[in-house]
Chains A and B, each alone.
Chain A
Amino acid sequence: MSRLHNASRRRFLKVFGTATGALVVGLPALAWTPDELLGQNLFQLGPYVRIEPDGTTVIGARDPEVGQGIRTAEARILAEELDADWTRVIVEPLDLGVTNANGDPHWTYGHQMASGSTSVPAAWNDLRSVGTAARELLLRAAAAQWKTGVATLRTSHGVVIAADGRKLGYGELAEAASKLKPANAPAKPKTSAQYRLVGQDAGDVDARDIVTGRQPFAIDAGYGDTLVAVIAHCPWPGGRLAHLDDAAALKVKGVEKVMTIPAPDPARALGTQQLAAGIAVLAHDTWTALQAIAKLDVRWQAGPRPVQGDDALAGASEAAFAGDPTKSVRTDGDFAETAKRAPHKFKADYRFATIAHADLEPPNALVKVDSQQAVVVAPVQNPRATFDTVRRLTGLAPEKITIRLPRAGGGFGRFLETDYVAEAVMLAKAVGKPIKLMWTRAEAFAHDTYRPFSVHKLEACADRKRALTGWTHRIASTSRLADREPRPRQWLSEMHPDDLPAGLVDNLHYAWFALDSVLPRGSYRASSHAVNAFATECFLDEIAHGLKQDALKFRLALLGEPRKLSYRGHGGPVLDTGRLAWVLQLAADAIGWSKPHPQGHGFGLACHFTFGGYVAHAVEVSMEKTRLVIHNVVCAADLGRIINPLGARASLVGATLDGFSTALRERITVKGGRIVQQGFKDYPLATMAQMPHDVQVILVPSQENPTGAFDMGFPSAAPALANAIFAGTTVRVRRLPLWAELMRLL
């Protein structure tokens, strides 16, 4: 679906980024780019669509592709309203759309970020009208040519068809259409009954390039005179360089320079967070740089604050829990009073290891910078933050900064940060040549923005009818917003006041306690939903077991009659208990929950509301000696309207496996003040042999607005697995990584 650029197309896309400032995203207003800049035979019908005389339809995808399938989904949304011939569609990634608004950036393409499954909802809002507007222009162009009324015409698969059967392809009409003024009133979008692309399967638009090795990831980009920079950071967080002798490294043939990245300045973060002190070796190729960096004679000095591992943080959490919460997140009724008189009481502590992102593509950035312009090619999830970092370091005007958005080899939150981009900009500026900065795998593990460590204390009580009457959930965590937000706001990333069972239990208390850590922390897939759902869903399972109730019936009774609860925060404003109950029921039915279970097999359930999506998992496992066999997995999801079922399934299956892998064996440990893990050998991602052969996905048909799909399958996967393990082994695992804890308890 993609094809090679020619020079004029590349230039055209660049023009997009700089010359279309008058465009207002989401409105069918069109701006015109001077013909001489477009080359010949190219007709632009908006910032996201271009139709060529041969009918080829080029759709610009604005959000970064990190494996969530956004390029495909966005193109399908736009092509649907355009009524394009999908076989003639080519999808091009757009750069960050930015122009100069009196010295400040004006973001011309609207939403451009891969985070929190927000791209598809935003695209659904903005991009349909772009397709509709382009189609309306083509219809009017045809009407003018045939001297007939627009109302008598219809479109199908990239062709305008007259009442008498005459046809004109979009390509034949493009030139005339591009000279028309857009209508004042926006044209009506299609009704869902008219959809023929949205809701149908579409393979990834980059698939052919990926299987032939031609898909350019950031790590594959370069300019002819690029110097490769390989970096070694101070292994102690917050530490600095104590001694450097680079004579031996500089003697390596092909080495150009050795440069240092200064120790972090607490007053000024150069990226989205502090950069670690580092030494970069600049050479003509990667291998030379790697050899030279090994020849550096270097000593580092540890930072002023001690680096604590999870065990030390767990100790600190006990002291924190003994005091008042940093933030009382929600209080309904009176838990203490209710619990006093309750016949059934439950208590459990859960604990979650610090973990790393482990994207297969390590942090890297190609940066070209001079006094006139800066160009960045990097794996990027947050292009605006990347822009801000480049601007801070170069002082260039907004329109002089180009942020390209190549497909990224994963993301999961790591590429929301800009530390590696900041390093490359500093090096490129200093050396006056384009820099290709590469982090090794060991550097990626040692200098990640880790998922926060947390300890969860849960208590609950039930009445004589075995219904839940009280619930407390207290979390002590190393908030990822520490060092970024004032303390009173740091709970926001750690706990959601309206997460269930809030609203279902009369006496409820949510509280958050701050834990300090020197390790950098950052956003991670599904944010704190992942760990909070694990604690909540496993504790619910414990309670159901303690009350001798079926885990499904207990949950359904707790969810009660379908109703809409108020939900503040991302995914709101409402949480529909009926939709959650329905996916739970679907998952349970599909795995055969109420049928006789095979001897020795454990079944587990979990569900969660994440960013507006409702997902439930059902898992069947057995232990064969010390081997965990995952027999069956079902993931049922209600994500509103599904743009591309094939892509949504990929996201849900992937999230399920990622959820298992993350929970089973992954953890970051600290020894002697530094990170122990150096590679996948001591940070074992799950292999094919360890993972289920398939995940059965059930998508609930829905006319609701789409929620996106990438994060939603993550939070409920691991607790369903842990609950299944309990059912199969009677061992309750309350600590991640799960595998180590299970082996300890068995």
Chain B
Amino acid sequence: MTRLWQTPAKPQTRCGLNATCNPAAAAREHCKGTQYNCGMMPQVPQTPPTEIVPQPIREGVDVTINGEHYRHTGDPDMPLLWYVRDVLRLTGCKYGCDDQSCGACSVLVDGKLQRACALSMQDIAEADITTVEGLARAGGALHPVQQAWIDEDAILCGYCQAGQIMAAMALLARKPQPSDADIDSIANLCRCGSYPRIRRAIQRAAKTMRDKAK
């Protein structure tokens, strides 16, 4: 398994020369036309401030993703799908369509199943998001749903499976003992035809989770 993405250097938003500079601050006049958007000209030499200088709160959207806290200060309309994929490089969440029909980008938002392509960052301010990467415990112990997918070999091409797993997570949270009709309510698409194994994996996971709860 190779990661070809390397996290790119964060775009520099501060000039780095003055601790008080703030890109969100309204007063940017003094250094317009420089490469920095912080709005402050280099001042050399510089003496550090002797007292704490209050800063305005940065604009942005606070989100919790897989237990980690992030602040998104970019476009508040950016869909969560592209935030997790392009910004956080959590690529388990897949692009599959533009009309919420495929479910490849399914995530849990405060425990509820949602399509990450249809949620903008401002929609999910303060929300608690779980992607497929957040299911396994630290140390690598898999969630029973993930383990069930492996045990039933519910894979085929695998592209839709992260979304299917998230849909199963939401279903099992609502219905610990799902009927076939309950499982049929999952509308995530699989072109390869892995549905029978997904069905068995959900039933297996349900049993494991019930047994554990006993």
Contacts and interface: CB of A to CB of B under 8 A. Distances in A.
Contact of B101 (A290, A359, A411, A681): A681
Contacts of A653: 193, 196-197
Interface stretch (B20-28, B45-53, B158-166): B158-166
Contacts of A215: 1, 158
A693 B75 CA distance: 44
Interface string B167-205: 000000000000010011111111111111111000000
Interface residues of B, number: 68
Contacts, number: 213
A312 B191 CA distance: 29
A213 B191 contact: no
Nearest to A445: B97
Contacts of B191: 358-360, 410, 412, 658, 661, 685
Given A3-B1, A212-B142, A224 B155 contact: no
Interface in B88-123: 90-99, 101-102, 104
Q: Number of contact residues on A: which range applies?
A: 35 or more
A354 to B, nearest CB: 17
Interface in B67-85: 75, 78-79, 82-83, 85
A429 to B, nearest CB: 19
A66 to B, nearest CB: 6
Contact of A206 (B3, B86, B90, B158): B158
A654 B190 CA distance: 10
A147 to B, nearest CB: 42
A687 B79 contact: no
A671 interface: no
A interface, over-half SS:
loop
A691 interface: yes
Interface in A176-226: 203-204, 206-217, 219-225
B198 A688 contact: yes
A303 interface: no
A161 interface: no
Contacts of A438: 95
A677 to B, nearest CB: 12
27 contacts: A2-B1, A10-B2, A207-B155, A211-B146, A211-B162, A212-B92, A212-B136, A212-B146, A213-B131, A214-B1, A216-B1, A220-B91, A224-B7, A285-B87, A286-B82, A287-B83, A360-B160, A360-B189, A361-B157, A409-B94, A409-B159, A654-B192, A680-B189, A688-B195, A689-B184, A691-B195, A694-B199
Give 10 closest A-B pairs by Cβ, nearest first. A213-B92, A409-B159, A67-B157, A657-B193, A654-B193, A220-B91, A689-B184, A213-B132, A680-B101, A287-B82
Interface of A: 2-5, 10, 66-67, 203-204, 206-217, 219-225, 228, 285-288, 290, 358-362, 366, 377, 407-412, 438, 440-442, 646-647, 650, 653-658, 661, 678-681, 685, 687-689, 691-695
Interface of B: 1-9, 75, 78-79, 82-83, 85-87, 90-99, 101-102, 104, 131-133, 135-136, 142, 146, 149-151, 153, 155-162, 165, 180, 183-199
Given A5-B1, A217-B91, 20 more contacts: A209-B1, A211-B132, A213-B131, A214-B1, A220-B85, A222-B5, A224-B9, A287-B82, A360-B159, A360-B160, A360-B189, A361-B96, A409-B157, A412-B191, A440-B98, A678-B99, A679-B99, A688-B195, A689-B184, A694-B199
